[in-house]
């Protein structure tokens, strides 16, 4: 994780303090970092708008290190970002956006049946999560594979655009509905070693994050050796009620 405290000129011309946190996944800089933005002078909607623009800019820096360039870019462009339509600066837009944020992020728990080409599969999942601005956990425990995703609902739910040339082009250019992206991309290999699409991923649960949930700050891959370790992952995240309801039956 890289935390940067800086200032940039805001819409009124005054300096606006910013806290930028970059979560660097194992594949960085070949894949995008996670980014969070906060400021005592900005609304949540404005911080979200700045974060989204930073992620858009980050696409242009792949596969080179980009944290310094992104900090410089936001220092030079904050005023224009907040003045742009849809940035959350206009009348009537901030309260609704802030209310949505206050309700908590959207979460989805997926069960992946298997991974034959594990290294390739995990790398692709990391890239998708980074490109969509999602955080969460990819958890392995024996033969059980669980993917817990967290983010803005529109980034988890938007429909995949089949007009793009390839799924790879698609996820780099626009937010996608994650499960559709996974099922339409050749992310694994079949028993003969030929690239194949994900056919057996299933949604175990999806909802607004429950009260008491500890928000994920990054996307991480967890190799767990026991059922107790898997249970603790859910307990630490404040999702202990999910474990007996959605997970326990998979390991019996």
Q: Rounded distance, CA 31 to CA 206, Å?
A: 26
Residues 178 and 129 in one domain: yes
Residues 65 and 110 in one domain: no
User: Has residue 90 been placed in a domain?
Assistant: no
Instruction: Output Rg (C-alpha) for the chain, integer angstroms.
Output: 19
CA geometry: angle 18, 20, 24, nearest 5 deg: 175
CATH number at residue 22: 3.10.110.10
The strand pairing partners of 148, in sequence order, are: 109, 137
Residues 185 and 242 in one domain: yes
Residues 136 and 235 in one domain: yes
Q: Rounded distance, CA 88 to CA 110, Å?
A: 32
Residues 77 and 139 in one domain: no
* Tens of pLDDT, residue by residue, the chain (252 residues): 788 999 998 877 788 999 998 888 877 888 888 888 989 888 888 888 888 888 888 888 888 889 998 999 899 888 888 875 545 444 333 333 333 444 567 888 989 888 888 898 898 888 777 767 788 999 999 999 999 988 876 555 543 333 333 333 333 323 334 655 666 667 777 778 888 776 677 888 888 888 777 788 888 999 999 999 999 999 998 899 889 989 988 986
Which residue range(s) make up the domain with 63?
2-83
**Are 237 and 213 contacting, i.e. CB atoms less than 8 angstroms apart?**
yes
Residues 152 and 217 in one domain: yes
If one counts the domains in the chain, the total is 2
In sequence order, which residues have a C-beta less than 8 Å from that of residue 26 and are 6 or more positions away?
A: 126, 221
CATH number at residue 196: 3.30.70.100
φ, ψ of residue 99 to 5 degrees: the values are: -65, -40
Residues 218 and 113 in one domain: yes
- The pLDDT score that the predictor gives to residue 230 is 96
Q: pLDDT tens, 48-106? A: 888 888 888 888 888 888 999 899 989 988 888 887 554 544 433 333 333 344 456 78
- The pLDDT score that the predictor gives to residue 60 is 80
Residues 59 and 14 in one domain: yes
User: Has residue 61 been placed in a domain?
Assistant: yes
User: Has residue 9 been placed in a domain?
Assistant: yes
- The pLDDT score that the predictor gives to residue 221 is 94
- The pLDDT score that the predictor gives to residue 190 is 79
User: Has residue 96 been placed in a domain?
Assistant: no
Q: Rounded distance, CA 230 to CA 246, Å?
A: 12
- The pLDDT score that the predictor gives to residue 179 is 58
User: Has residue 89 been placed in a domain?
Assistant: no
Residues 138 and 55 in one domain: no
């Amino acid at each position: 994780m890289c935390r940067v405290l800086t200032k940039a000129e805001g819409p009124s011309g005054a300096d606006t303090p910013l806290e930028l946190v970059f979560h660097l996944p194992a594949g960085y800089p070949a894949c995008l970092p996670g980014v969070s933005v906060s400021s005592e002078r900005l609304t949540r909607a404005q911080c979200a708008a700045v974060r989204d623009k930073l992620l858009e800019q980050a696409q242009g820096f792949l596969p080179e290190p980009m944290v310094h360039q992104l900090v410089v870019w936001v220092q030079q462009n904050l005023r224009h970002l907040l003045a742009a339509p849809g940035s959350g600066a206009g009348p009537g837009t901030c309260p609704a956006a802030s209310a949505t944020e206050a309700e908590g992020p959207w979460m989805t728990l997926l069960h992946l049946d298997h991974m034959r080409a594990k290294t390739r599969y995990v790398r692709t999942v990391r890239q998708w999560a980074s490109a969509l601005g999602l955080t969460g956990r990819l958890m392995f425990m024996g033969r059980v594979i669980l993917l817990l995703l967290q983010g803005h609902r529109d980034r988890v739910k938007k429909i995949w655009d089949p007009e793009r040339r390839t799924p790879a082009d698609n996820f780099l250019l626009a937010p996608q509905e994650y499960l559709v992206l996974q099922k339409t991309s050749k992310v694994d290999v079949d028993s003969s070693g030929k690239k194949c699409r994900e056919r057996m991923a299933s949604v175990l649960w999806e909802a607004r994050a429950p009260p008491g949930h500890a928000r994920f700050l990054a996307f991480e891959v967890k190799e767990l050796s026991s059922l107790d370790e898997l249970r603790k992952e859910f307990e630490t995240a404040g999702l202990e009620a999910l474990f007996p309801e959605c997970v326990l039956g998979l390991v019996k």
